[in-house]
Structure 1
Amino acid sequence: MALIVVMSVSEFNRAVATIFLLILLVLANNVMADEPRIEVVGLFKDRAVIVVDGKRYFVKKGKTISGNIKLLSSTNQEVVLEVNGKEQRLKLGGRIGGFLKKPADKEVVIWKSSYGMFLTVGSINGFPVNFLVDTGATKVALNRRDAEHYGVVIDERLRRVMVSTASGYAPAFLVKLNKVRVGSITLRGVDAIVMEGNHPKKVLLGMSFLNRVNFNQKGQSLMLTSK
C-alpha cells in the first residue's frame, strides 16, 4: 500500500528549501575538508614558519611547500603566500582553509634575534606592540607613556611598588591588562607593572603571560603553545 503525505504548498516549499540547504552544507563540508589548513606561527625577513595540516615548515622566500603553497615574501609583520595560484596575505597567527576541522592548539614560534634576544609582535588591548620576551620579569612590564598609548588607565590610587632596574629601584603601578595577544594566542586579564619614566624601552613579555601558556626553547627558537 502506497503512503501518501498531504502537505500545503508552503510546507512543501519549506521542505524543499531544507533539503537544498542540507545538500549545500554537505558539499561545502567536503570542499573545505579537502583544503589545506594553513597557519602562520613565525615571521621574519624573507622566511616564515608555517603549519600546514598540523605539519610545521620553515620556509624561505621563493620556496614551495606541500605541493601548492609558495612563499612570495615575508617580513616581521606579514607573509604573502601563493596558495593554489591565489595570493594570500597573513599576519602572525593568521589562518586560512579547513575551517570545519577541529582547530589544533594555538602556537607561536619566536626566533632569537642577531642580538641574542627573543623579539616578537603582538598587541595590548588591540594596539600593536613589539615584545621582548623576558623570563626574568615576573610580570609583563611597560613604561607609563606606552601604557597610556595602549589604553591602560593609570589611577594614582592603584597599588604602587618599587621594582629593580639596571639603574636602581623605580616606582611602578600594578595593573591588569584587558587583553594581550602574541600571534594566535590571546589572554585576558594579564597582570602587569607600569613603570614611571622611559624604562623599559620595549614591552617585556614576562611570566604573568608566559606562565599561562606552555613554552619551550629549542636552540634559537622559543615555542609558545596555548594551554
Structure 2
Amino acid sequence: MLQLSKLSLLTLSWTALLATKVVGDELEGATSASIQTSPAAAPTKLSAAAPELTLVNYRLEVLMITAAVGLVANYFYGSRKNTVLASVWEKPITDVLQANFSAVGNGQQVLEWDSAADLLFYASGRRHCKYAQGHLMLTARQDPIALLNDLTANNYEKLQIEVTLNDDVPGFVFAAVPRKRSKAVGRDRYDVSTFAKVIASDKVPTDTV
C-alpha cells in the first residue's frame, strides 16, 4: 500500500511538472512568433485547409485530463482502502464499548464517518461517567497532498478516546504505558511519578504497566 501511494504521488507530481513545462514552451513559442512578425509585412493568403489534428497539439489538455483522472482514481482507491481498515477497527472498538457502556453508537452503527479519513464514535451509560467519545484518525489516502504530509511526517493511524467523568468523582492519576517506557514517563510526568505507582494486573499485557 505504501509503495502504491508513493507511486501515485510520483505520477501526479511528474504530470504537474510536465504540464508546467508544456505551458512554458507554448508561451515562449507564442512570444517568439509575435516578436518575429513585422507589422508592415505583406498579408499572406489564408489557407482554407483545416489544421492537422495531432496529439502533440493537445499536450496540455492530455496532461490535465491525465492528472484529473489520476486524482479521481486515487480518491476512490484511498477511500475504499480506509473503508476496509475502518471495518477491521470497528469490531474491537464495539466489543470494548459494549462491555463497558450500556448505550453505544446511535443504535444502528458505532463508527460514523466524519470525513474520508476520520471516524467518530460515542458511548454512555456507566456509573460515575457522563460519556465517552472517540476519534479514529486514518491516513488520508484519498488526498495526495495530505498523504505526502503523512508519509514525510511519519504519521500513522491513531485511536483517541476521551472519557468524561461525573463532577463529583474525586480526582485521580492513571497511566498505561509500555513497560520499557515506564521509567521515561515517570521522569517526564510529574503527576505520574508523584501520585501513581506501578501495579501488577492480569488484565493488561505483560509488556504494559
Same fold (TM over 0.5): no
Greater Rg by CA: 2
Task: Give the TM-score band, short-chain normalised.
Answer: under 0.3
Higher helix share: 2
TM-score for the superposition, normalised by structure 1: 0.26
TM-score normalised over the length of structure 2? 0.28
